[in-house]
Amino acid sequence: AQAAQHSTQVCAYYDAGDLPGPALASTLVRELAARFATQEQGGLRRILLPGASGVEALRTFDTFLQQRNDNLLLVLDNAHRIPVENLRDVLHATTRIHFVLLCQPHDNVRQLEAMTGLQRESLQGWDIDTVAAAVADLGGHASALGYEQLRSYTGGLPLYVESAARVAAEEYKGDID
């Protein structure tokens, strides 16, 4: 979410957590087409053709984006729960959708790296100095131990840190400790 705030591309988020792998392509294209193709006359009908597989519909949506000269950044959360073959099919079906796959450590991640050549990037979160600066910006304060505990509890994830700092500022007179 933090990176999407700074992206110049149109962004979308989808949580694939409980989705069966074979349904990934059709579900994504249905969600994306409903969100981005409704402006166009007949756009949905051109993309969601009866009898088309999910991957075929995703390719059609990709063509739709190309005709509009658009790209899309899709953040796919819990991607580690999707079988690698289904992820690979979706990744290879489009050139106009750029994916950010959010995964927890899992064997599927290693398998996906081997099959696609992708390389994982670990999200480390903010360090203690950045946490302290963010808290101060929101009117909060803490001891060094308090900042470290906040970083530890939130994993240093920016939106979690900021949310906790807002709660502290509003409910505890800015005191993180």
Give me the pLDDT at residue 140, please: 87
Give me the pLDDT at residue 118, please: 85
Query: Would you call 82 exposed, middle or buried from its count of C-beta atoms within 10 A (0-12, 13-18, 19+)?
Result: buried
Give me the pLDDT at residue 98, please: 93
DSSP state for residue 95 in the 8-state scheme: S
Count of residues in the chain = 177
Q: How far apart are CA 22 and CA 13, in angstroms?
A: 19
Q: Token pair for residue 96?
A: 């106009």
Q: Between the CA of residue 129 and those of 67, 132, 145, what are the distances in Å?
A: 46, 5, 12
Question: Which residue is listed with tokens 């800015």?
Answer: 174
* Contact assessment for residue 99 and residue 28, using Cβ atoms and an 8 Å cutoff: no
Give me the pLDDT at residue 116, please: 84
Q: How far apart are CA 177 and CA 172, in angstroms?
A: 9
Q: Token pair for residue 102?
A: 């959010």
Q: How far apart are CA 83 and CA 62, in angstroms?
A: 22
Q: What is the pLDDT of the chain when averaged over all its residues?
A: 87
pLDDT at 58 exceeding the cut of 70:
yes
Q: What structural domains does the chain harbor?
A: 4-116 (3.40.50.300), 128-171 (no CATH)
| Range of weakest confidence among 18-32, 77-91, 157-171 | 157-171
Q: How far apart are CA 139 and CA 174, in angstroms?
A: 6
Q: What is the mean pLDDT of residues 90-103?
A: 93
| Range of weakest confidence among 47-51, 111-115, 125-129, 166-170 | 47-51
Q: Which of 74, 86, 93, 85 is nearest to 15 (CA)?
A: 74
Residue 169's pLDDT band, with cuts at 50, 70 and 90, is: confident
Q: How far apart are CA 66 and CA 32, in angstroms?
A: 14
Residue 39's pLDDT band, with cuts at 50, 70 and 90, is: low
Residue 141 phi/psi, 5-degree rounding, is: -155, 160
